[in-house]
Amino acid sequence: MHSTYTGIQARAWAEHCIVGSVSASRLTGRPTSPPTLVGVLGVLLPQSKLSSRATWMDAPRNSILYKIFLLLFALHMLSRSWAWVTGAFPPLLRTRSCPYGSSSMAIQGFRPGDGKEGIEAHIKAMEGFELQILYDDTDVIVVTKPAGSLCVPGRFIQDSLVVRVAAHAKIKDFARMVVHRLDQGTSGVLVFARNDAALKNLHAQFRPEAKRMTGNGNEGMQKRYVALVEGNMDAFEGKIELPLSKDTDNPPKQMVDFAAGKASMTRYRVRRSGVDRNLVGLEPVTGRTHQLRVHLSCIGNPILGDPFYAPLRVQEKAPGGRLCLHAESLSFRHPRTQERLTFTSPYPREWDGGLEDVRESLEDGPV
């Protein structure tokens, strides 16, 4: 005796795959892409291909119907096997070690910014905005980015900093000007390329081998940030080394992943200290997405105003209601002359409220 799949049963099973995969995704927090694909393929099959008299065994071995049934069944079993593996061995695959976590489910009162809030923040940041140019020649343009503005166009809004810079430089293909980006909530120094040769050269300076991860060389791009963080740091200076990867359950967030994460290093130095907050100088030796924000959250000092990696009470402490992260300086070699150039932008002085300078011996440090 063998199982028989009629055309009506096959279509019903395909629809079940769609509903079941969506429900499983909501319950477990993990995406179930293979069954969803199976369901979509099954539902989209023409009715003529799913005749009520067609069966699993009766269809000719070389028929399209038989091959479709076989493919759907194989994908279904593969997705079931993968779901069992990820459900049985999650610690071996992914690790969340942050005190506040990088999952929204781990934070009471978590309030991530949605698309509408991001658009509103950008519009507010760009109202009456005049391009603040720090340097401009035939190869590069260095500007100051306001907090809340988009570096590049988003899904729902075309206006962005690179569009404004391209208009100033009279360049049509603005996408070929982008050397690096800052998060929407971050303010500070940003460099754009005016031509392909400059773009290639500046990209090369961002590579880890150019930055000399294990030393203090100045061959590559050097970025310095300032952040206002919750609580007091365990040490006045040090480095944070935690591997990072995408948090596929909560995009666009990142997470600590000791199994498959990319090596990430951040140097820090406390500049000013208060009762419940510190002003910290930061140097990202590597340039992972959200690196500074995740690293600081993971050592128990989330950045004030961070909607992704800080609890709601820490978000609400932020002066000005913004992410308190600022790209204070940027140093690189000019792509044509090889001269070392350094540009700075002061952080908001309202962040100094209630803080005092720390030991003078720290003033000459790298950050």
For residues 42-58, average pLDDT? 46
What digits encode the pLDDT tens for the residues 255-284? Answer: 999 999 999 999 999 999 998 999 999 999
Distance separating alpha carbons of residues 346 and 311, to the nearest angstrom: 27
Between 314 and 81, the more confident residue is: 314
pLDDT tens for 328-342 read 999 999 999 999 999
Hey, which bits of the chain come out as E strands? 133-136, 140-145, 187-193, 222-230, 237-241, 244-246, 254-256, 265-273, 277-284, 325-333, 340-344, 356-357
Give Dmax over CA atoms of the chain in angstroms.
86
CA distance 154 to 170: 21
**What pLDDT is attached to residue 356?**
86
Q: Which amino acid is at 329?
A: S
The tokens for 152 are 């590049």
* Overall average pLDDT of the 339-346 stretch: 97
Which is catalytic among the residues 183, 247, 257, 306?
Answer: 183
Q: pTM of the prediction? A: 0.67
Q: Which residues make up the CATH 3.30.2350.10 domain(s) of the chain?
A: 115-362
pLDDT tens track for 169-219: 999 998 889 999 999 999 999 999 999 999 999 999 988 665 544 344 456
Alpha helices for 31-112 (secondary structure H): 33-44, 64-88, 90-93
Q: Output the pLDDT for position 206.
A: 84
Model confidence at 293: pLDDT above 90: yes
Whether 357 is catalytic is no
CATH: 3.40.109.10, 3.30.470.30, 3.30.420.40, 3.30.2350.10. Which one for 115-362? Answer: 3.30.2350.10
- State percent of the chain over pLDDT 70: 67
